Amino acid sequence: MIEVRELSKNYNGMPVLNGIDLDINDNETLVILGPSGQGKTVFIKSLVRLIEPDSGTIRYDGIDVLTLPKRKFIAIQKKIAFVFQDNALFDFLNVKENLSLYLRMHSKLSEKEIFKEVLRAIEFVRMNEEVLDKYPEELSGGMMKRIAIARAIIQQPCYMFYDEPTTGLDEANVEMVVELIHKFKKRVCKFEKRVCATVVIVTHDIHLMHAVSDRVVLLKEGKIVFVGKKEEISEESLHRLYDTGVRDDL
């Protein structure tokens, strides 16, 4: 479980996160929904310490990670994977090297064992070995997203974070991302030796929210204004909340 209390972050004196309190339950898929500029990405990056908040607490299974030195946070960090909006693949590495890098740095597996894990990850995202020698610039947007997801799941994490995973994708690739999010939930976390998949997704994509969420959080100006089931959210309520025309991408 992730417990967030009084989480705040300012930039240039302006509040981006404003005293957020939230519990993220084990094995749930939580979607943080809202248009751009509401603090969603700052929040999700704060949860994994890619951004250091100004105040508050974030507890993973009772441990306040914000009080841990970076070197002690590594043990928890190994349970966490993050899929970036821009995929964040290394453009000077081919797909095989991108996927192998984490295991080379954080495991004692042999090269043969690492390659087996790479093949499993590629199979997970429904791709084949032909892609392994390609570089990111040779891949389509949908292929890069699938490789980014493969790189994340190769860690066998307990916690998976996605930042705007469907942005810029066509309908077929959006459906593929939906499928992979559901599929990940059935994997066994190597740290817990059981099915233990907590998923947190930041998105402005209403279709994705409806397709995958167990609970939904709405952020407005850095504050949580709603936590509940997707069935409780209507297009009319979103229109009123954000004072914007209702579109499929919010």
Containing domain of residue 64, as a range? 1-79+158-250
Beta bridge pairs of residue 224: 219
Please indicate, yes or no, whether residues 66 and 162 belong to a single structural domain of this protein. yes
Please indicate, yes or no, whether residues 130 and 30 belong to a single structural domain of this protein. no
Over residues 169-189, the mean pLDDT reads: 87
Please indicate, yes or no, whether residues 67 and 172 belong to a single structural domain of this protein. yes
CA–CA distance, 7 with 54 (Å, rounded to integer): 8
Please indicate, yes or no, whether residues 104 and 130 belong to a single structural domain of this protein. yes
pTM of the complete model: 0.90
* pLDDT of amino acid 186: 76
Higher pLDDT, 222 or 236: 222
Give the lowest-confidence range in 77-81, 95-99, 113-117, 235-239.
235-239
DSSP 103: H
Long-range contacts of 187-191 (CB under 8 A, 24+ apart): 187/153, 187/156, 188/156, 189/79, 189/156, 189/157, 189/158, 190/156, 191/78, 191/79, 191/156, 191/157, 191/158
Higher pLDDT, 12 or 200: 200
| Residue carrying the six token digits 């709405």 | 218
Please indicate, yes or no, whether residues 220 and 104 belong to a single structural domain of this protein. no
Please indicate, yes or no, whether residues 39 and 143 belong to a single structural domain of this protein. no
Distances (CA, A) of 190 to 70, 96, 135, 154: 22, 22, 29, 10
Please indicate, yes or no, whether residues 73 and 177 belong to a single structural domain of this protein. yes
How large a percentage of the chain has pLDDT more than 70?
A: 93
Helix, strand, coil in percent for the chain, rounding step 5: 40, 25, 35
Please indicate, yes or no, whether residues 70 and 125 belong to a single structural domain of this protein. no
Give me the number of domains the chain comprises.
Answer: 2
Nearest Cα neighbor of 233 from 217, 249, 212 is 217
Q: How would residue 235 be classed by pLDDT, with cut points 50, 70 and 90?
A: confident
CATH number of domain containing 210: 3.40.50.300
How large a percentage of the chain has pLDDT more than 90?
A: 69
Give the lowest-confidence range in 66-75, 107-116, 142-151.
66-75
Q: Which of 94, 122, 156 is the last residue of a domain?
A: 156
Please indicate, yes or no, whether residues 188 and 149 belong to a single structural domain of this protein. no
CA–CA distance, 160 with 82 (Å, rounded to integer): 6
CA–CA distance, 212 with 102 (Å, rounded to integer): 27
